[in-house]
Structures are given as structure tokens and as C-alpha cells.
Amino acid sequence: MTRPVRTVLFDLDGTLLDTAPDLAGALNAVLASNGREMLPFERIRPVVSHGGSALIELGFGLEPGHPDFEPLRKQLLDHYQAHIADQTRLFPGMETVLAELERRGLPWGVVTNKPGWLTQPLMDALGLGSRAASIVSGDTLAQRKPHPAPLLHACSRSGSDPAHCLYVGDAERDIEAGRRAGMATLVALFGYLLEDDRPQDWGASGLVRHPAEILEWLG
């Protein structure tokens, strides 16, 4: 690392927060209410970073455009909204990271493809909304990751320059967006990676197996 990092941005699901228990619960509730067999948590967890549509595809084997797809996705999101912070928590060690960033005077923020009507209530429920210097959701701008615009927007709102920003995420689109924005990037290997993901090939600045390694990387 050659450029000092002055702002740290995080993806939400699978990076900052372990949202998989509540999203898996929502999918299984919808499966059960539609007479389908529930899926084991281990099958659902890797798909969580890819959003509600990916969960419906996993659970029901339907593609977007199928007449049942949107009604099922709405059921999923409605259930999830009602139980958005039942079991969701910061990943173990992440509170230490945030506290240390705040101690150092380094603003941190969130850039997610999750819609704002889910992102803000979740952040507020966990007491994080007022701590984040910027929160950019999937519908804040016209573009979403892997487009760099949401990251650049968050960086601007945090009062920083992209060359001094670090973006941490657990999906290839996160690293692509960060690289296109001119930021340093870290892959959160503790997040929701699919079995065939090859994070070592995504071109990130580094890979971290535990949130504490983010602080080690910052130095």
C-alpha cells in the first residue's frame, strides 16, 4: 500500500454485517408458506450477497420474468423487512475495527446494492446509522455496483478522495467497482463467497480472513 487511507467503505451483506440468518429465515418462511421444503442454512448463506432475486432463484428454481417470480420476491422482502434485525449482527471483530477507525479519526461508510428502504432501517436498528459518514444504497443513484458511481458518491460524501479510500467487499462486483473508482480494495473472505468464486483472481489489493486483518492492512 503506497497511498494513506483516509476513508474506509464497506459492502453491507457479508462484509460489515452477518445478515444471512435473517435472509435465510425469510427464504425458508416463503418456501414453507408455498408448500416447499425448507433449505439448509449452509446452502443459502453463499447466495445472500446476491440479493432477493438470487434467493428466489435458489429456492424456487425460477428465473426473473416467470409470472410467479416477482410475487415470491415481494413475499421474501416483506418477511425480511419485518424481521430485518432479529439475528443480524456485525461480524465478530468488526466492532473493534469500527471503533479503531473512529479513534483514528477515519470516517467509514457503507456502499451496498440493498435498497434504501431496507438498508437504513437495518443500520439504525443496530445503532450504526448515526456512526456512518455515508450510506449509499442500491437505489441512491441510477447506477449500482459494479458501476463505480456509488463508491465515488460515498467517497465524496465522506469528504475524501478515491485515491485515499479503501473498499472492503465479499463479491467480485465489489472489487470491480472499487478498482474502477480508483480505490484500494480488500476481499472479505469471511463473507458469503460461492464455492466456485476465485477471489485471488479479482485483482484486489489484498484478501482478509478476519475483520481484524483490515486494521493490520491499514498499518
Per-residue pLDDT tens for 184-196? 999 999 999 999 9
167 sits in which H/E element:
strand 165-169
**What pLDDT, on a 0 to 100 scale, did the predictor assign at position 142?**
97
Tell me which amino acid residue 83 is.
H
Confidence class of residue 1 from pLDDT cuts 50, 70 and 90? Answer: very low
**What pLDDT, on a 0 to 100 scale, did the predictor assign at position 3?**
73
Query: For 88-135, what is each residue's pLDDT tens digit?
Result: 999 999 999 999 999 999 999 999 999 999 999 999 999 999 999 999
Mean of pLDDT over the chain: 97
* pTM, two decimal places: 0.96
Provide the annotated active-site residues. Answer: 11, 13
What integer is the mean pLDDT of 52-77?
A: 97
- CATH fold of 7-18+89-218 reads Rossmann fold (3.40.50)
